[in-house]
Structures are given as C-alpha cells and as structure tokens.
Amino acid sequence: MRLKTKLSLALGFLFLVILTFCVLSIFYINKLSTNEDRILKNNFETLMFCGNMLKELDQLPQNTQAYKAFEDNLNKQENNITEQGEKEATADLRKNFNELKANPFDSSKYPQIRQSIQIINSLNENAILRKNNSAHNTAEDANFILTIIFAVLTLIAFTLVVNFPSIISNPIRVLSEGIAAIADKNYNKRIYLDQDDEFGDLAASFNSMAEKLDEYENSNLAEIKFEKSRIETIINQMKDGIIGLDNKRNILFLNKVAEKLLGLKETEIIGKYAPDIALKNDLMRTLLSEENNKKELKIYADNKESYFNKDILNVKNPENNAIIGKVIVLRNITPFHELNEAKTNFIATVSHELKTPISSIKMSAKLLTDERTGNLNGEQNELITSIREDADRLLKITGELLNMAQVETGNIQLKLQTTNPTLIVDEAILAVKFQAQQKNIDIKIHISDHLPIIHVDAEKTTWVLINFLTNAIKYSTDSSLINVNVFTENDQTKFTVQDQGKGIAEKYLPKIFDRYFKVPGTNEQTGTGLGLAISKEFIEAQGGHIWVNSFIGGGSTFGFTFDNS
C-alpha cells in the first residue's frame, strides 16, 4: 500500500470518527428537541384552551361575551387535536355547546360540557406524562449509546495515534542510517524495507545509487577510456557541428562536422587557445564573437551554400554552478531554407499565373456592362459589380503575394531615382480618391514648402503610401478626416498618414509589421496580413525607417522617413 494511501486512510478514519460522533449527537439532540416540542406545544396549548373554556363557562349565561370567548377557544381546540379519543370528546363538547347556545338556561348541559372538557384535559395530561417518559428514555439511550461509541472510537483513535507515527519514523530512521553510511563512503551499505510504498521505492533507489557509487568507486582507467570513446563516437555521429571549450577558452574537442566546416583537424588544434585559431580562421572568429548570435550563418558546405544556427551552451559545475566550459553547436538548417525557398517560388508562380485569368475576368465583367453587348437588369448589374470587386480583391492579394515573394527571396528590385515627394503624395491620393468618396472621408494634405528632392523608388514608395491610406480609410468612420503630412525634420523627409479611427492597443504595436498579423477584433476578412510587412521591407530596402503611433480611442499615425540626399 502506498504511503499516500495509508495517510489518506488514517486521516479519513479520524474524520469518519468525528463525523459519526457528530451525526449521532445531532440525531439524538434533534430527537430530544422534537419530543420536548411535542410535550410543551400541542398538549400544553390544549390544556390552556380547556382552562379558558372552563373559566368562560362559569360566567354563562349572565355574560354574553363569554359565549364568544368560549367558542374562540373551542375553535382553537378543534384545530389542535393530537391524541386518540380527543376528537370524539371535542365533538361532544361542540354538540353540547351548540345546544347550550340554543337554550342558555338549560342547566343540564353544563355538567355534560364540563365532563367533555375534563376528558380532553385527562387525555392531554396523560400524553404529557407519556411523552415526558419517552423523552427521558431517549435521553438515557442517547447517553448510553454515545458513551459506548465515544469509548470505542477513542480507543481506536488512540491506537492509531500511538502506532501510526512508527510507520513513517522507522523507515526514515533506516534511510538516515543508510545515508550516513554512504557519506562515510561505505558503498556496500544496503537498505531492505519490505514495504510496497514510497519508502520501499526510496529504499530501492538508494540501493541502486549505492550500487552505482560502488561501481564508480571500483571502476578502472580502461572503463573511463571506454566511456570517453563512446561519447566521442556519439558526438561524431551527430549531423551538427560541435566544438568544446574549457573555461579558459582552450579547445577540448570538435566533431567531424565541425572539422569539415572549419577546415581544421582536431589533432592539430586540440588544447590550443581558440582566439589564436580565430586569427587565421574567419569562421572560428565568427563563432567566438558574442555578436549576431541570433543571425543565421551562411557557410559553404557539401558543395553548396548552407545555412547554420549558432547555439552557445554553458557547461556548469553542479556543486557551485560555476561555468567550467562552453559548447558551441552549429545546427544545419539548410533543408528548412530549401523548403522555404520552394514555398516562396510556388507562391510566386501561382500568384503570377493567377494574374492573367483574373485580369481576363475583370475585362469580361467590364464588357458585360457595356451597353453594346446588351442591357442588364438590376440584379445582373449587382452580380457584375460583385464579380469586379472580388476580382479586384484577388488581384490585390496576388500582388501582395508576389511582393512578398520578392521580399522573401531578397530579390527586391529597386529603381532608385530623384523624386519630388509631392508627386508621390498626388499619385497615392488619386489612387484612393474613389474609396474615400464612398465613405465621405475628407483627405487633407499638408506639404511643407521647399521640400528637398529624395532619392527613392517612387513606385514602391507610392505603393506603401497607398497601403497606409487604404488602411486609414478602411478603419475610419464615415465623414471623418485623414491628414497626410510631408515635412522635413533633422535632415530627414517624413511622410505620415493620420486617421481618426478607434486606434490600436499598445500591446499589438510591436507586431503590426509582422507577416500575416491582424489586430484581434477588427473582423477583417479580405486582407492577407501582408500589406504592412511588405511596406516595411520596401521602405527599409531603400534605407528608410517605418513606424506607427497609436492608442485606443486616439486614431493611428503611420509614417516612414528617408534621409535627405
């Protein structure tokens, strides 16, 4: 039995003892209370009603009010019948009283009424005596039973309290003796506990530990060399490059993969100071550098450009947690790069192939709206409009996917040229003018005088500004205002788009330019979540900086900055 089970059973039994005693006590107390209530309430009230009726009977027939008082008490008595025979006596009382009311001066009714009242009194007095005896007997029974139960439970609980601690203390004492023996390097010490519980498991673990310590104490140099050889074989079979350094940065080992990547042999550099090796080896210098630990390393390996992640693991002394060395691990992530490149090429190919049929759909929809091909009814016009809107959305998505493919492959083709910032703003405003008119949104343009000419890719910069404006229109309320600002500050030209929408919570701002990220709660169904990510790549590819300021209830301001040429 497990120790937890034993504790649960012991504590559960004690709880059951207390619960049983409490339940029985409550039961007998309630029973006594019920008997007392029955004695004091129903029968006593009947006696009181009878006394009142006798009192009023003495005043008849001279006092007419006595009739009413007598009948009130008689009514109460009729509603308080509890004993056998009391109902018949009460009925006789009612009959005689009614006859007396009919003939108040008939003196023959008075003895009959008194006799009925006396019968009722006798029945209830006898009941009181009987119930009092019953309550007394119940109290004696309860006292006897509770005393017996208390004695038995006390004896059992005392036995449990006396014997149970030894169940825990004895194994602990034996284990303490065993631990003391191990501390004195007596590795032959064994503990034998015939218990199927946690102490038994602990004894088995102790014996296993003692056996291992005995083996370790008696091991020889050949066994140590064997273990070293086995570990080296495991390390050499790993596909990651592994380099071990001691706390003084001397090289302890490197596996075959690391040898191949460094172009060095382990036998040539073992025990040497790693920074000295780094003077003549660029890869070693990169691995020892604390900078760019999170960046991927591009290394020519396996007759191709390969990609690796660098992890530096600290080796610590378990006794004092001091660093006694480091292990540098080069993880080969080339297969993941190849899969990602295949995915990007697939997206680019599919997106490119989709543009032509989507454009054809748009052209066909446009031709259908031409009156020369025939007139359309209202429902048909709505369907054509829906087709054109869906085609526009698909074109936008495929365009963003193509741009994202450029970004992922690093093949962003820039056409840098001197451009007037005003031309970029004018072209972007013209592209979103119709969307703004549909929501009655006013776009105010604020361009500083004497803006310098900037050296950028005008097409991609305009695309970014259009994306900012499209988002501002989408998340602004009808008949609101959007401000477009272009100005110079600290030898930089800044473009900003400020809306009056509901704003973005501060916790989401660091992720706003991540790929596929959408602010929760916007209920946006048509977007891809790539627009702002592509915008960031386009601006930063041109040497610019993109940013956002926003808070809930205060709208949002998106902007980008270029250094003046």
Q: What is d(CA 517, CA 528) in angstroms, rounded to the nearest whole number?
A: 9
Q: Give the model's pLDDT for residue 85.
A: 84
Q: What is d(CA 38, CA 33) in angstroms, rounded to the nearest whole number?
A: 9
Q: Minimum mean pLDDT among 17-31, 245-259, 346-360, 421-435: which range?
A: 346-360
Q: Give the model's pLDDT for residue 291.
A: 64
Question: Is residue 370 predicted with pLDDT exceeding 80?
Answer: no
User: Which of 205-214, 321-330, 498-507 is modeled with the greatest confidence?
Assistant: 498-507
Query: What residues contact residue 435 under an 8 Å CB cut-off, 6+ apart?
Result: 470, 473
Q: What is d(CA 553, CA 560) in angstroms, rounded to the nearest whole number?
A: 23
Q: What is d(CA 28, CA 349) in angstroms, rounded to the nearest whole number?
A: 88
451: DSSP letter? P
Tell me the three state secondary structure of residue 322.
Answer: coil
List 443's β-bridge partners, or say none. Answer: 482
250: DSSP letter? B
Query: What rounded mean pLDDT belongs to the chain?
Result: 79
Q: Sign of the CA dihedral 509, 513, 514, 515?
A: positive
Length of the chain: 565
Q: What is d(CA 299, CA 338) in angstroms, rounded to the nearest whole number?
A: 15
Q: What is d(CA 414, CA 457) in angstroms, rounded to the nearest whole number?
A: 6
Q: What is d(CA 493, CA 482) in angstroms, rounded to the nearest whole number?
A: 20
Q: What is d(CA 274, CA 289) in angstroms, rounded to the nearest whole number?
A: 11
- Provide the terminal-to-terminal Cα distance of the chain, rounded to the nearest Å: 83
Question: For residue 360, what are the CA distances in angstroms to 352, 365, 367?
Answer: 14, 8, 10
Q: Give the model's pLDDT for residue 485.
A: 95
224-269 pLDDT, tens digit per residue, is 666 667 776 777 777 788 888 888 888 888 888 888 888 888 888 8
Q: How many CA atoms lie within 13 A of 239 on its CB side?
A: 9
Other C-beta atoms closer than 10 Å to the C-beta of 476 total: 20
40-52 pLDDT, tens digit per residue, is 577 888 888 888 8
**Which residue type is seen at 225?**
K
Q: What is d(CA 447, CA 466) in angstroms, rounded to the nearest whole number?
A: 17
Task: Transcribe 72-126 into DSSP letters.
Answer: HHHHHHHT---STTHHHHHHHHHHHHHHHHHSTT-TTHHHHHHHHHHHHHHHHHH
Burial of 538 (0-12, 13-18, 19+ CB in 10 A): buried
Q: What is d(CA 441, CA 458) in angstroms, rounded to the nearest whole number?
A: 26
Q: What is d(CA 496, CA 135) in angstroms, rounded to the nearest whole number?
A: 93
Q: What is d(CA 557, CA 547) in angstroms, rounded to the nearest whole number?
A: 9
Q: What is d(CA 235, CA 257) in angstroms, rounded to the nearest whole number?
A: 10
Task: Transcribe 348-387 into DSSP letters.
Answer: HHHHHHHHHHHHHHHHHHHHHTSGGG----HHHHHHHHHH
Tell me the three state secondary structure of residue 358.
Answer: helix
Q: What is d(CA 175, CA 199) in angstroms, rounded to the nearest whole number?
A: 9
Q: What is d(CA 113, CA 495) in angstroms, rounded to the nearest whole number?
A: 113
464-496 pLDDT, tens digit per residue, is 999 999 999 988 999 999 999 999 998 899 999
Question: Of 185, 143, 173, 169, nearest to 24 (Cα)?
Answer: 143
Question: For residue 502, what are the CA distances in angstroms to 442, 521, 548, 551?
Answer: 17, 11, 14, 8
Tell me the three state secondary structure of residue 455.
Answer: strand
| Tokens 């004195």, residue located | 184
pLDDT average, residue stretch 189-196: 71
Question: Is residue 292 predicted with pLDDT exceeding 60?
Answer: no
> Which residue did the predictor score with more confidence, 181 or 448?
448
Q: Give the model's pLDDT for residue 530.
A: 75
Q: Give the model's pLDDT for residue 488.
A: 93
User: Are the beta carbons of 269 and 250 closer than 8 angstroms?
Assistant: no
**Which residue type is seen at 149?**
I
List 245's β-bridge partners, or say none. Answer: 251, 326
Domains defined for the chain, CATH in brackets: 3-165 (1.20.120), 228-331 (3.30.450.20), 338-409 (1.10.287), 416-563 (3.30.565.10)
Q: Give the model's pLDDT for residue 212.
A: 75
- The percent of residues above 70 in pLDDT, for the chain, comes to 79
